[in-house]
């Protein structure tokens, strides 16, 4: 910073140009407060055991569908690398927890596109948790998209799977929300989507503790101009001292 500059003036100028929204004080949802972050006393043998141990409240029929997805995912994982989370407790504490948190951020009957879905997280799990939401997924790696399409069929769900980049999907279709986990940094996401904001209302990105530095990098590269970014929820990352967050990004319309 220039030694002759006024920090208050610089901060106000930056706020006018970036349109970033300061993080508002938050009260943790009840489901976050009920999480049991202690390591399992013994490995879980089913999805139901792992979710009960963590403290997630999920109906039995939904757990059954998640169990089917999990078994199909692990079966395909022996043929193609889709996930490192190959036991129930890790799967629930990483993949299911993130998807559960994301599902709570979606409104009724939203149309959602999971970009860079990998093995179907979070998109397929959100579709299971929120059957009222219309979920599509995409991945530019054709063999991953093919595997996810097979998994979706094995689970008995009707989820469109696009074996192309998200930008190409957005040239033809429109969505309420794009969702992302581990698909790219804030800078990468904003770069990829820069020309496509008319095709969706907002981006929800699941992030770990590096999100602050990622935001700073995007800001430094001028990508935060006309972007409203806010942290909509944070929750513990079990087994670590860190937390996960969900960031909401919107393009201002002025």
pLDDT score recorded for residue 20 = 58
Q: pLDDT tens, position by position, for the chain (254 residues)?
A: 333 334 333 333 444 444 555 454 467 899 999 999 999 999 999 999 999 999 999 999 999 999 999 999 999 999 999 999 999 999 999 999 999 999 999 999 999 999 999 999 999 999 999 999 999 999 999 999 999 999 999 999 999 999 999 999 999 999 999 999 999 999 999 999 999 999 999 999 999 999 999 999 999 999 999 999 999 999 999 999 999 999 999 999 75
pLDDT score recorded for residue 19 = 57
pLDDT score recorded for residue 13 = 40
Cα angle vertex 200, ends 58, 29, to 5°? 30
Q: Which of 135, 67, 103 shows the shortest CA–CA distance to 206? A: 103
pLDDT score recorded for residue 6 = 42
Tokens describing residue 183: 């698909």
Tokens describing residue 195: 């020309």
Domain spans of the chain, in order of start: 30-251
**Phi then psi for 112, rounded to 5 degrees?**
-125, 140
Q: How far apart are CA 96 and CA 84, in angstroms?
A: 14
What is the assigned CATH class of domain 30-251? alpha beta
Cα torsion 215, 216, 217, 221 to 10°: value is 100
- Tens of pLDDT, residues 38-50: 999 999 999 999 9
């Amino acid at each position: 910073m220039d030694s002759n500059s006024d920090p208050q003036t610089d901060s106000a100028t930056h706020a006018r140009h970036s349109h970033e929204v300061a993080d508002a004080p938050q009260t943790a949802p009840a489901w976050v407060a009920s999480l049991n972050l202690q390591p399992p006393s013994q490995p879980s043998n089913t999805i139901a055991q792992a979710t009960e141990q963590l403290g997630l409240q999920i109906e039995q029929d939904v757990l059954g569908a998640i169990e089917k997805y999990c078994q199909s995912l692990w079966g395909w994982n022996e043929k193609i690398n889709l996930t490192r989370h190959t036991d129930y407790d890790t799967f629930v504490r990483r993949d299911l927890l993130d998807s559960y948190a994301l599902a709570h951020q979606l409104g009724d009957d939203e149309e959602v596109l999971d970009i860079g879905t990998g093995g179907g997280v979070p998109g397929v799990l959100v579709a299971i948790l929120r059957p009222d939401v219309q979920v599509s997924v995409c991945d530019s790696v054709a063999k991953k998209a093919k595997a996810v399409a097979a998994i979706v069929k094995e689970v008995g769900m009707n989820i469109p799977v696009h074996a192309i980049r998200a930008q190409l999907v957005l040239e033809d279709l429109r969505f309420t929300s794009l969702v992302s986990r581990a698909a790219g940094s804030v800078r990468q996401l904003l770069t990829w989507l820069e020309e496509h904001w008319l095709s969706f209302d907002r981006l929800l990105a699941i992030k770990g503790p590096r999100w602050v530095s990622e935001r700073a990098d995007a800001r430094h590269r001028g990508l935060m101009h006309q972007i409203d970014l806010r942290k909509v929820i944070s929750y513990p990352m079990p087994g670590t001292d860190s937390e996960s967050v969900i960031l909401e990004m919107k393009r201002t319309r002025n």
